[in-house]
Amino acid sequence: MFEPVWTDSASETYEQLRSAAASSLASRKKKKKKKSSKAEGLFKQVHKCVRLLLANPRHPGLETHEYQSLTHPYDPKGKVFEAYVQQHTPGAYRLFWCYGPKKRQITIIAITPHP
């Protein structure tokens, strides 16, 4: 297991997604609807991606690969990776991460719709 380190931007996005999902869930339960909303589904997918990443960054479902357009926050020569939160979805979400700053740590740099 890796320990997560969050950038301010990634933490803020994660909390916004969590808040939107919680709000949607409360509204849905109040209206007694059974089908979950897009906000709930997206947060569930983001949370699962983070969980899988921390357990095994090479998990095949993440389709992790190196991403060239972002710089490593701790080491200019370090690699930044992209993991898939969603696939086959318009504007599919991606999670950008790197190893560090210490051993057994993963820094989550950003959670964004596919650029």
CATH classification at residue 70: 3.30.2310.20
Q: Which DSSP symbol is given to 115?
A: -
Instruction: State the pLDDT at residue 55.
Output: 97
Q: Residue 66 belongs to what domain range?
A: 3-113
CA torsion sign for 96, 87, 66, 4 is: positive
Our measurement of the distance from residue 89's CA atom to the centroid of its chain's CA atoms, rounded to an integer in Å, reads 15
Distance CA 110, CA 34 (A): 31
Q: What is the pLDDT along the chain (115 residues), one digit of tens a residue?
A: 999 999 999 999 999 999 999 999 999 888 888 888 899 999 999 999 999 999 999 999 999 999 999 999 999 999 999 999 999 888 899 999 999 999 999 999 999 998 6
Instruction: State the pLDDT at residue 115.
Output: 64
Q: What is the total count of domains within the chain?
A: 1
